């Protein structure tokens, strides 16, 4: 089944556009788990168990695992194995290199790690993304306009009458032969999110930046969704993972995820007539 | 000692601007090494042993190691340990993420892996690079104009009267408070290399794309060096690593590296009066 069909299906099944970002920070794992063989993995196991009926996707932030060396690498790989098959797994690694190197990155993330989707950087152009776009069962979310302050430095440079991030959208759409490109647009840029959705009515949009980064949830739903109310993948990480720092972290994460899904669905009902 | 001082020192000591790219492909490792516990690591050990007096730096291409999973990760880390202290080790990982994630990548590459320098992508702006720029003993080579065909897609878009890659140079120079930024410019773009060197007379330039990618060595030396004939780091990978596919691979790599250093130094003598 194509990636987009799978995404739509799980968004229906779980009534959820919510993506839980597994930015698992060893320093924030409750003390009782720190003696386990692999605390990051154990934490993720409990979080996934507690939230898997509430989300459409999990996003694994490679940075947090690479910083832990071999154990982190193992935790990342085994976390993907814990994600139920019907849910989407996103490897948030922001890779991109010349063709023969990107092939290796694609092989690492898709074949070895078995992610359904990855994030990639557009700066090096088409041959740097092509290895990530070979199968329509997998998706590459191209960085367009990110949620951080630095998004103003390069992404908002003016290319003719347009912003660079818009040119990235237009250019990447020309590479979207298999309909398996997605875009990353931060919820901290609501107007621009609207503009990207207009240019790309059907592509999945991965939307970080709500919660501690201050992006608007209303706009993320209103402008992030396709016209039927799907294809927005709204990410939250810290606000759910660390809802409690105690042993009740999994239950607290569940409550927080439930609350956020409900808020999202309230907006969905308003804008699209269903949840 | 600052990164740039160390680079100049080893370029003098070994009379070399040559950087050997360790794009170690398990499929190209001679059969006799494939039974060793970690063939990538063993191959690198023999290559480093055979070339360490001929180069100024080794560049470890993370893609080739990540594609091998845990063993690859271990090979990458232990390869850095094999590089003699006076030589420069470059982690070619092209990372870049929002601030708190980039901190983890910097920690992985600088603290855990102990690279002296890394390659980073500029697309996400200043806060995505800041964690890589905290110490002047380490260097972040920012992607400017890469050696691949896709460099035309985004990097050559026109921003006002300039190309995007030139704006990246100008913008990144504003972040260069500790004098530890470098730039990546492919040897496949000689005119543009000249332009970048003019804008940034003192920064280290990492120059891939000679050899199988067809870039000009003469221009890499002429335009890549600072006015004293240093600070160009000219990378070659496949042409040296796989000079022979047999058991004489290390000796063949040595001969190839020697030949290339000599060619570089012939141009250096012509343009800068010394080698």
Give the three-class secondary structure for B225: coil
Helix residue spans in chain B (DSSP H): 3-13, 39-51, 62-66, 69-82, 99-106, 126-129, 164-174, 190-199, 217-224, 238-241, 249-272
CATH of A3-272, one of 1.10.940.10, 3.20.20.70, 3.40.50.720, 2.60.120.10: 3.20.20.70
Nearest CA in chain A to B113: A69
DSSP states along A31-70:
GGGTTSSSHHHHHHHHHHHHHTTT-SEEEEEHHHHHTTHH
Q: CA-CA distance, B48 to B54, in Å (whole number)? A: 10
pLDDT digits (tens, 9 = 90+) for B56-65: 999 999 999 9
Looking at the predicted structure, is the pLDDT value of residue B4 above 90?
yes
Residues of chain A neighbouring B64 (CB-CB closer than 8 A): 101, 104
Looking at the predicted structure, is the pLDDT value of residue A214 above 90?
no
Instruction: Summarize the confidence of residues B21-46 as an average pLDDT.
Output: 96
Angle between helices B217-224 and B190-199 (to 10 degrees): 10
Tell me the domain boundaries of chain B. 3-272
Looking at the predicted structure, is the pLDDT value of residue B214 above 90?
no
Q: What is the pLDDT at residue B211?
A: 78
pLDDT above 90: percentage of residues in chain A = 97
Burial of A236 (0-12, 13-18, 19+ CB in 10 A): buried
Contact A67 B146 (CB under 8 A): no
Instruction: Provide the shortest C-alpha distance from residue A144 to chain B (in Å).
Output: 9
Q: What is the pLDDT at residue A130?
A: 98
B199 phi-psi bin (left φ>0, alpha ψ -120 to 50, beta other) = alpha
Looking at the predicted structure, is the pLDDT value of residue B6 above 80?
yes
Query: Residue A165: how many CB atoms within 10 A of its CB?
Result: 25
DSSP states along chain A:
--HHHHHHHHHHHTT--EEEEE---GGGS-GGGTTSSSHHHHHHHHHHHHHTTT-SEEEEEHHHHHTTHHHHHHHHHHHHHHS-TTSEEEEEEEE--SHHHHHHHHIIIIIIS--SEEEE--TT-HHHHGGGSS-TTSEEEEEEE-SSGGGGTTTT-EETTEEHHHHHHHHHHHT-TTS-EEEEE-TT-HHHHHHHHHH-TTS-EEE--BGGG-B-HHHHHHHHS-TTS--EEEEE-HHHHTS-SSTTHHHHHHHHHHHHHHHHHHHHHHHHS--
Q: Is residue B16 within 8 Å of B261, Cβ to Cβ?
A: yes
Give the three-class secondary structure for B93: strand
**pLDDT confidence of A213, banded at 50, 70, 90?**
confident
Average of per-residue pLDDT values in chain B: 97
Active-site residue flag, A94 = yes
Instruction: Summarize the confidence of residues A205-210 as an average pLDDT.
Output: 96
pLDDT digits (tens, 9 = 90+) for A232-268: 999 999 999 999 999 999 999 999 999 999 999 999 9
Q: What is the pLDDT at residue B221?
A: 98
Residues of chain B neighbouring A128 (CB-CB closer than 8 A): 148, 150
Instruction: Summarize the confidence of residues B94-103 as an average pLDDT.
Output: 96
Burial of A73 (0-12, 13-18, 19+ CB in 10 A): buried
pLDDT above 70: percentage of residues in chain B = 100
pLDDT digits (tens, 9 = 90+) for A51-99: 999 999 999 999 999 999 999 999 999 999 999 999 999 999 999 999 9
Residue B132's nearest CA partner among B174, B89, B95 is B95
Q: Is residue B130 within 8 Å of B179, Cβ to Cβ?
A: no
Average of per-residue pLDDT values in chain A: 97
Q: What is the pLDDT at residue A105?
A: 98
Q: What is the pLDDT at residue A128?
A: 98
Q: CA-CA distance, A222 to A229, in Å (whole number)? A: 8
**pLDDT confidence of A211, banded at 50, 70, 90?**
confident
> Choosing from A77, A94, A162, A259, which is the catalytic residue?
A94
CB-CB: which of B67, B151, B157 is closest to A107? Answer: B67
CB pairs under 8 A between A and B: 176
Q: What is the pLDDT at residue A210?
A: 93
Q: Is residue B4 within 8 Å of B231, Cβ to Cβ?
A: yes
Looking at the predicted structure, is the pLDDT value of residue A212 above 80?
no
Looking at the predicted structure, is the pLDDT value of residue B181 above 90?
yes
Token duo for residue B163:
């190309």
Q: What is the pLDDT at residue A258?
A: 98
Q: What is the pLDDT at residue B269?
A: 97
Q: Is residue B221 within 8 Å of B17, Cβ to Cβ?
A: yes
Looking at the predicted structure, is the pLDDT value of residue B212 above 80?
no
Q: What is the pLDDT at residue B78?
A: 98
Token duo for residue B101:
């994630």
Residue matched to tokens 């400017």: B144
Q: CA-CA distance, B234 to B218, in Å (whole number)? A: 11
Contact B171 A154 (CB under 8 A): yes
pLDDT digits (tens, 9 = 90+) for B44-86: 999 999 999 999 999 999 999 999 999 999 999 999 999 999 9
Looking at the predicted structure, is the pLDDT value of residue B224 above 80?
yes
Q: How far is CA A10 from CA A47, A85, A187, A254, in A?
A: 18, 10, 22, 18
Angle between helices A164-174 and A190-199 (to 10 degrees): 30
pLDDT digits (tens, 9 = 90+) for B139-161: 999 999 999 999 999 999 999 99
- What ipTM, to 2 d.p.? 0.97
Residues of chain B neighbouring A38 (CB-CB closer than 8 A): none
Q: Is residue B70 within 8 Å of B272, Cβ to Cβ?
A: no
CB-CB: which of B105, B112, B122 is closest to A154? Answer: B122
The single-letter DSSP state of residue B112 is I
Q: Is residue A164 within 8 Å of B159, Cβ to Cβ?
A: yes
pLDDT digits (tens, 9 = 90+) for A12-37: 999 999 999 999 999 999 999 999 99
Nearest CA in chain A to B101: A63
The pTM of the whole model exceeds 0.80: yes
Give the gyration radius of chain B's Cα atoms: 18
Contact B124 A67 (CB under 8 A): no
Q: CA-CA distance, A181 to A263, in Å (whole number)? A: 27
Nearest CA in chain B to A106: B67
């Amino acid at each position: 089944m194509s990636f987009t069909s799978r995404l739509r299906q799980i968004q229906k099944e779980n009534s959820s556009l919510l993506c839980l970002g597994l930015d698992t920070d060893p320093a924030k794992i409750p003390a009782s788990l720190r003696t386990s063989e692999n605390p990051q993995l154990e934490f993720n196991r409990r979080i996934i168990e507690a939230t898997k009926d509430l989300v459409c996707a999990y996003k694994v932030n490679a940075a947090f695992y690479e910083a832990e060396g071999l154990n982190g690498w193992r935790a990342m790989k085994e976390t993907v194995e814990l994600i139920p098959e019907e849910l989407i797994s996103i490897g948030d690694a922001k890779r991109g290199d010349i063709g023969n190197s990107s092939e290796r990155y694609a092989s690492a993330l898709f074949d070895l790690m078995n992610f359904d989707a990855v994030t990639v950087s557009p700066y090096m152009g088409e041959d740097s993304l092509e290895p990530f776009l070979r199968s329509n069962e997998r998706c590459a979310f191209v960085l367009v306009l990110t949620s951080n302050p630095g998004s103003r430095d390069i992404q908002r440079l003016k290319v003719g009458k347009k912003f660079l991030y818009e040119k990235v959208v237009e250019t990447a759409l020309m590479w979207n032969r298999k309909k398996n490109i997605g875009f990353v647009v931060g919820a901290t840029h609501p107007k621009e999110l609207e503009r990207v959705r207009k240019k790309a009515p059907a592509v999945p949009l991965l939307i970080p930046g709500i919660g501690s980064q201050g992006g608007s949830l209303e706009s993320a739903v209103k402008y992030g969704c396709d016209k039927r109310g799907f294809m927005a993948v709204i990410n939250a990480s810290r606000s759910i993972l660390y809802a409690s720092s105690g042993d009740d972290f999994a239950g607290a994460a569940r409550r927080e995820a439930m609350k956020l899904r409900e808020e999202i669905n309230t907006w969905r009902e308003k804008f699209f007539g269903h949840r």
